Structure 1
Amino acid sequence: MSAVEKAAPAVQLPEIGQAFGGGFFSGITIENGQRFASITAGAEHELVGEWGKYGEKIEGADSFTDSRSNTEAMAAAGSELAQKVLALDIGGFTDWAIPARDVQELQYRHFKPTSRENYCWNRDGDNPNSLPVGLLYTEESPAKTQVPGFAEGEPETFQARWYWSSSQRSADFAFYMYFADGNQNSFGKYNELRVRPVRRSLID
């Protein structure tokens, strides 16, 4: 262990679903060798809207991990949904974003609201940018969440609906996740879907 590592205070992360950083701890992502705590906003802060303009490729909105840079690019291109998320002030934190694809996968993995079999096709569940690495879903895994606060009928429960990610697929499409069964695919940007905002905090 280096002198810097010895001097740096250890970050004490809570359990999944516990209050943290203005929201609730929802897992760890890795980007450029750095680890980030992913934080999901409470259900009361969900928004609904179109991703953006159909047929317009937005530069800088293609990351699977950097939710904030994606959202800022969307907002700069005129996305009202992204602009509303960037304007959020939750618990004194103002760096909220629409979750990037692999950040959103952590939300489903830990907070799945239904007992339906998971959708097992293409890349559903494959998440090389999480810690631990996310594996392809099976019909049974992940299971319906039992995390306090997010379990069925509790205040922070996700709805069994489609949620936008901020990760662009093409000029016409962006990635979404269906929280009823974990289907990860892409929709036309003109569709109105839900968003559960996120922010992140650097661990190391």
Structure 2
Amino acid sequence: MTTIAAPVQTPTIPGTPFAGGFYVGRFQIDGQQYALIVSPKTAGTLTGKWGEFGQDVPGARSYNDGRANTLAMAEAGSELAQQALALNINGLDDWYIPSRDELELCYRYLKPTAGENYCSFRDGDNASSLPVGYPYTEDTPAQTPAEAFRDGGAEAFNPRWYWASTQFSPDYAWGQTFDDGYQNVDHKDYQCRARAVRRELVL
């Protein structure tokens, strides 16, 4: 049975232990505010294909609702999504693969490296985040001040590509690199990392 969380007070500092994982930031879905929580690295990091190349998953097109995307992926046969939904971490079982905008929040607030950001057309653009996220500059966002999430830290994202749960087309899905923040799409049948997240209603 899936645990349904009641509204709770949330931290304000990214990387703070909270609600089974670590607080990332705030975002919205249909006007409702949520706190995004990233899973502990060891327990919540998965590797696999997003799905099958050429298979359309209409329910996985949301840019902000990663849980809805992940449920649709799992129903379509994605083993990666099924693994995420099966996670039980610190007594909580509502983990999922982040959407494009949720994954961007993880990079923006928990960037592991001190290097320059990739600044192409719209990298970092995030209409779902609170406050709204604007495209990256070379220096913004900076490396996270959360020590555990800095490069080499126990909770740090690897400076590699991570899947988002947002489908781009029957062949491609969104993802992001955590060395410079580059956002793009990749073949769904590539083996890549994903890191589970969950969310809490904000009072």
Aligned to 1:32: 30
DSSP-derived class of the 1:195 partner: strand
Matches of 2:77 and 2:170 in 1, distance apart?
A: 14
Q: Give the letter for the 1:95 counterpart.
A: D
Does the aligned pair in 2 maintain the 1:14–1:20 contact within 8 Å? no
CA–CA distance in structure 2, aligned partners of residues 154 and 113 of structure 1: 9
Residue of structure 2 equivalent to 1:6: none
Pair member with larger Rg: 1
What displacement does 1:14 show? 4.5
Displacement over 4 Å in runs of 4+:
none
**5 Å matches for 1:135-146?**
135-146=134-145
Correspondent of 1:21 among 4, 19, 36: 19
| Counterpart code for 2:62 | S
Aligned length: 196
Pair 1:115-2:114 in alignment: yes
Aligned-pair CA distance for 1:115: 1.9
Matches within 5 A, 1:68-107: 68-107=67-106
SS in structure 2 of the partner of residue 149 of structure 1: helix
Q: What amino acid does structure 1 have at the position aligned with 2:77? A: G
2:181 pairs with 1:166: no
- Which amino acid is 1:169 matched to? F
Q: 2:183: which partner in 1?
A: 184
Distance across 1 between alignment mates of 2:18 and 2:101: 20
| Map of 1:3 onto structure 2 | none
Amino acid at match of 2:187: G
In the alignment, structure 1 segments of 5+ residues that lack a partner are 1-8
Q: Does structure 1 residue 151 correspond to structure 2 residue 131?
A: no
Check 1:10–1:38 CA distance in 2 against 1; reply closer, same or farther (3 A cut): closer
Equivalents in 2 of 1:10, 1:166: separation in Å? 26
Calculate the aligned-residue CA RMSD, in Å: 1.3
Alignment of 1:121-140 (within 5 A): 121-140=120-139
Instruction: Name the % identity.
Output: 49
- Deviations 1:166-186 (Å, cap 9, x if unpaired)? 000000000000111000000
The CA deviation string for residues 80-129 of structure 1, in whole angstroms up to 9 with x for no partner, is 00000000000111110000000000100011111221111122000111
Contact kept, 8 Å, 1:52 with 1:74, in 2: the verdict is yes
For 1:48 and 1:153, how far apart are their aligned partners in 2? 20
Residue 198 of structure 1: how far off its partner (Å) = 0.4
- Tell which deviates more after alignment, 144-153 or 106-115: 144-153
Q: What's the offset of the Cα at 1:11?
A: 2.3
Stretches of structure 2 that go unaligned for 5 or more consecutive residues are 1-6
Residue 13 of structure 1 and its aligned partner are, at CA, apart by 2.5
